Structure 1
């Protein structure tokens, strides 16, 4: 083959110009033709669109063309010309062809037909070659960049918090243990319990559930920081919303109250959604059309209230509605679905933990805009949230989106040492293990706030996918740690 450089298909299609000598490489999506001409749809992952290769048997041997099958990897060189067919501006008249990697058409798992998402999860190592998953993971990359750009441009510092930790930030207790002890011969102490003094870290350690507490330490020095890293929950859940390994974005800001926190979160969400609309148009158009097609035969009651692109624009174009948890409870208690017992979880009074159906009702039916709920009952929230003067609520906030419910959860943090230690005692959080955290309240404490955004939850919303296992490259769930 020639020594000319490969050109990405995305660059070829965006330029849309003829060129005398072009080299492309990629994987075959489809092949069709007759004895006079062969058409090959080639994709290299740089765009959801394929480049059509046109191979003349007078230029490319019939034996070589017979080996070209769906899934094979090709290197093709030739002339870019204006396309004779619809759907693309240019096509490549192939002058030389090399098969870099063959694919047995009898065994290749991704034939050019519709495959279920369940089947594709079983071959997660190959599913990025499909249109759906290549679109999802290009968008995931774009959102990773957009998150970092947003915080960088606002003067935040990215902090890498520990993956191995001795603390349970949420008090959830559902953590993965990290140990080097011999499971077949565990050392015991005098009380007969496992002797973690003989373990690698001289104590019991786990995979982190959150980087928030460590990020707070840096916010109380660098003023505004954020984490973006993997977190882990050993929750035995097989729902479409849960993963055992997922990524979290957690900003922490000194000198910020709950209103500042809401402003930051709303600005960030609108920024990244707009970034997707501006920079991922081809992939979003494909996923929007896919969602419409998936729902066309469903009853109207089972269809989304709005489709993907409309939901994204809905977030960008609407100022978020802000109201207290107490106001939301009153709205929900008096709503038609509650009175007619249409909610699966009926709202009977103050103190109820809101479910996705309640959150979506507020967003999609009552306000018709994204919603931020504030001032939740302290009994359903974490120990580190600032207690309000009423003694019953905390300065917490959740952001609710259409189709998905809660997407962000955060709060003003409790900066008062006496209030924090009292709450920790009430919730059985061991103060002796949290001395490093309490020190920030002893030495130069200040009001500060932060929130958590589950990255996969964000990608679910932006791609319109309905199962969280389909927006992370290799999902980790109960009984599943393949690849």
Structure 2
């Protein structure tokens, strides 16, 4: 067979009358005549019309869902409904059959829970094909956005000796023999005998290292895998996930909020323009699911409307103090319907509070800023009131927090005081302190949870459905 043409190209160009070659996987085979073939290049499959007299019986028997085929034939205007063009097959090759008795993806609806168990095959379903094409588009849009904004892409370490968040929930990296670990005189593990000659972990963030780059290159961003050993089995948490973390020299908190809002709108606009078919399919699928819920539990907006709404309207911006006041006076709080009742200033907001502000009160994305310093990280700049820090979180409908960021503390004395308050050893972060000694300046940055962004754009309710191979407690399959 000659060189193949991708199905998305054929559907776009429609070279009627030409002999073409397509290769892909069988979605269905109806009446021993009509093959629905998909090659992953787009949502749509291409119909192949087979004449039983032209194809050997043994090949026909191998054309089952999941089988990999090569087809040569003439592209013609479709004689049936549902597609504009189809191929009159002249030659069919079965590259790889799929036993219909054992192939788990039959032409029927499968639950997402079941598909997570066969994550190595779920890419072939309509839903996950759409999700992972959109994931690619969002990734590309992020790089394109920062390139247009003249940022430099910085690769920060995956193996680190520092805990950027100070939470301690990190995976250890070691080459020591766990059955015979070397010990010091006081009985502790002797990390001097380990590969790096010190205790090391998988990173939870590239932020601290990105700050080093920003204070020389002006503005940088990281986009890489991060890891958190949090024993959480919720629909919002993963042990392995991806983060986008820009850092900008000479930027204050307001500029940080402006950049984040601009980036989010850019990403959504890009996917609306470039992933229209996949988004329409997911939108229709979600509308069917919503129609089966009680009326009072249905979403007020469709997926596509929600995405467009985020592009068309400015995000609400309020202080943490204003948010606490709104939440304290809210009906769910007064009637004790929140799982975590808001009683006083200083409470750490939960997802239910964030979603109330976004979905019920403001009915659009919200940026919260100026949080209490006691519930935020050591590196955030302390405000003049001494109680709050210049932190900001962006809250999205259905997701809650999607971005967390801050203006960073550039004053070394204040930073040292904060580190002492939070028991963070100075010696381990000498390099981070050095940039406060030599040419320090105001600077800001934030972190976007990439999977949460994909979740929002695709409308998926569980974060495990927007990453190819989810890593969660007790699960490291594939």
Return the offset for 1:377.
0.4
Tell me, in whole angstroms, the C-alpha distance in 2 between the residues paired with 1:117 and 1:363: 27
Tell me, in whole angstroms, the C-alpha distance in 2 between the residues paired with 1:344 and 1:186: 44
Deviates more, 1:361-370 or 1:18-27: 361-370
Ranges in structure 1 where 5+ consecutive residues have no aligned partner: none
Give the one of 452, 459, 476 matched to 2:454.
459
Q: Give the length in aligned residue pairs.
A: 478
Give the one of 196, 205, 219 matched to 2:200.
205
Return the offset for 1:120.
0.7
Return the offset for 1:294.
1.6
User: Deviation per CA, 1:162-185, whole angstroms, max 9, x where unpaired?
Assistant: 000000000010100001111011
Partner residue of 1:196? 191
Partner residue of 1:13? 11
Tell me, in whole angstroms, the C-alpha distance in 1 between the residues paired with 2:131 and 2:449: 16
Runs of 4+ displaced beyond 4 Å: none
Superposed, which structure 2 residues align to 1:2-401 within 5 Å?
2-3=1-2, 5-33=3-31, 38-401=33-396
Tell me, in whole angstroms, the C-alpha distance in 2 between the residues paired with 1:165 and 1:182: 20
Tell me, in whole angstroms, the C-alpha distance in 2 between the residues paired with 1:246 and 1:196: 27
Deviates more, 1:385-394 or 1:82-91: 82-91
Return the offset for 1:151.
0.3
User: Deviation per CA, 1:129-186, whole angstroms, max 9, x where unpaired?
Assistant: 0001011100111111100000011100011000000000000101000011110111
Tell me, in whole angstroms, the C-alpha distance in 1 between the residues paired with 2:263 and 2:12: 29
Return the offset for 1:190.
1.0
| Contact 1:165 1:207 (8 Å CA) reproduced | yes
Secondary structure in 2 matching 1:45: coil
TM-score by length of 2: 0.99
TM-score by length of 1: 0.98
Tell me, in whole angstroms, the C-alpha distance in 2 between the residues paired with 1:323 and 1:398: 10
Secondary structure in 2 matching 1:301: helix
Partner residue of 1:414? 409
| Contact 1:456 1:471 (8 Å CA) reproduced | yes
Secondary structure in 1 matching 2:18: strand
Tell me, in whole angstroms, the C-alpha distance in 2 between the residues paired with 1:91 and 1:153: 40
Tell me, in whole angstroms, the C-alpha distance in 1 between the residues paired with 2:63 and 2:225: 40
Secondary structure in 2 matching 1:430: coil
User: Deviation per CA, 1:260-297, whole angstroms, max 9, x where unpaired?
Assistant: 00000000000000000000000000111111112221
Tell me, in whole angstroms, the C-alpha distance in 2 between the residues paired with 1:366 and 1:181: 53
Tell me, in whole angstroms, the C-alpha distance in 2 between the residues paired with 1:188 and 1:401: 49
Ranges in structure 2 where 5+ consecutive residues have no aligned partner: none
Tell me, in whole angstroms, the C-alpha distance in 2 between the residues paired with 1:67 and 1:232: 43
| Contact 1:305 1:364 (8 Å CA) reproduced | no
Tell me, in whole angstroms, the C-alpha distance in 1 between the residues paired with 2:18 and 2:409: 67
User: Deviation per CA, 1:373-413, whole angstroms, max 9, x where unpaired?
Assistant: 00000011000000000010000000011111110000000
Tell me, in whole angstroms, the C-alpha distance in 2 between the residues paired with 1:355 and 1:270: 25
Secondary structure in 1 matching 2:101: coil
